Structure 1
């Protein structure tokens, strides 16, 4: 078993290119560009794993809890899908490939990159997220501690610890959302198509608005 920590990922960027800052400023004007850039920032923050964070009651790990090893995390996540409220992430063993799909309507997004585990209990997801506003690199990490059969997790850097898996797993454990079924691959093609359509419509809207301003 080889827990490689570095490898160049291959990302499919598609045929659409996000407009440059200068192009957006010309089309929207200074005030319009500021509102647009603020919206992009908010959307990226909303997409980048905020829906993974568990909303359960925060707890403090027991005194005997220790960081999980890279091997333990590898065995926990490999070839599993993590089901989220509005999507899922997939942890393929081959080349530690990570893929994800999430959101509905104009908040849809998909991602591709790699998942990495370390001996200090961290699972990190390095991916490029494809959203309405373009392609955005994102790294998100989760810390894990273990005491016997109980696993604690928190999202870095400011999340709260909670019980990811009880010693005797319950139906409400986040651990129960790790399943063998691939919940991502079938959705990515549809999301790619939807994003292309939305970007095309948005481009037409910006072009028409610019034309009206110059008339």
Structure 2
């Protein structure tokens, strides 16, 4: 709540400074802008895995190699609660779609794997508020057939795949089906409509405030 208050004050001061140039954001528009600011860095990866109890990697667990990570993710989609990310082999292209309404977003960029166990997603996220470059990384360790994962830099380790895969494993959400491409066209259209409506609202408000 403290961060929300700070961001709200920043938007209000900006509105007061630019009051002679454009109308101040409506209360609804302000709430939407603050919500996007708070949620952007994490909205793509809020899914069931992080609700699980953390698990410290076993002593024999080693960082996965780039080849192992490549084989794990290539040409697969990672299904999330409100969308999915796609790891295409060609050009290491990463695409994603997520959210609904004010939180609708799509992304395009590249996925990168390293020999110290990291998978990083470097992408530009397109939302109703604009385009936001963002990088999200995950670390992986392996002990036998068990894979551990955590979100960097401050996530907790958890079991991504058990030695005998369980139906609740996050690993089970990596599927070959392309869960993203068909949605991006619709999302782009929805975002354009939202931006158009927001622009019309500001224009009409400006007209009403003219002397």
TM-score normalised by the chain length of structure 2: 0.84
1:151 paired with 2:136, answer: no
RMSD of Structure 2 on Structure 1 (CA): 2.4
Q: Residue 68 of structure 1 contacts residue 120 of structure 1 at CA under 8 Å; is this kept in 2?
A: yes
Counterpart in the other structure of 2:23: 28
1:208 paired with 2:199, answer: no
By how many angstroms is 1:37 displaced? 5.4
Q: Residue 44 of structure 2 contacts residue 98 of structure 2 at CA under 8 Å; is this kept in 1?
A: no
Counterpart in the other structure of 1:12: none
Structure 1's unaligned 5+ residue stretches are: 1-20
Counterpart in the other structure of 1:98: 94
1:83 paired with 2:79, answer: yes
Q: Residue 48 of structure 1 contacts residue 138 of structure 1 at CA under 8 Å; is this kept in 2?
A: no
1:196 paired with 2:192, answer: yes
By how many angstroms is 1:41 displaced? 1.3
Counterpart in the other structure of 1:168: 164
TM-score normalised by the chain length of structure 1: 0.83
Alpha carbons of 1:34 and 1:107: their partners in 2 closer, same or farther (altered >3 Å)?
A: closer
Structure with the larger helix share: 2
By how many angstroms is 1:43 displaced? 4.2
Q: Residue 46 of structure 2 contacts residue 80 of structure 2 at CA under 8 Å; is this kept in 1?
A: no
The secondary structure found in structure 2 opposite 1:28 is coil
Counterpart in the other structure of 1:118: 114
The CA distance in 1 between the partners of 2:203 and 2:82, in whole Å, is: 32
By how many angstroms is 1:106 displaced? 1.6
Counterpart in the other structure of 2:180: 184
Alpha carbons of 1:189 and 1:52: their partners in 2 closer, same or farther (altered >3 Å)?
A: farther
Alpha carbons of 1:168 and 1:183: their partners in 2 closer, same or farther (altered >3 Å)?
A: same
Q: Deviations over 1:76-120 (max 9, x none)?
A: 000000000000000000000000000011211000000000000
Q: Residue 136 of structure 2 contacts residue 152 of structure 2 at CA under 8 Å; is this kept in 1?
A: yes
The CA distance in 2 between the partners of 1:140 and 1:180, in whole Å, is: 22
Counterpart in the other structure of 1:16: none
Residues 59-78 of structure 1 aligned to structure 2 (within 5 Å): 59-78=55-74
How many residue pairs get matched? 194
By how many angstroms is 1:47 displaced? 2.9
The CA distance in 2 between the partners of 1:141 and 1:46, in whole Å, is: 11
Alpha carbons of 1:147 and 1:109: their partners in 2 closer, same or farther (altered >3 Å)?
A: same
Q: Residue 54 of structure 1 contacts residue 174 of structure 1 at CA under 8 Å; is this kept in 2?
A: no
The CA distance in 1 between the partners of 2:49 and 2:136, in whole Å, is: 11
Q: Residue 49 of structure 2 contacts residue 170 of structure 2 at CA under 8 Å; is this kept in 1?
A: no
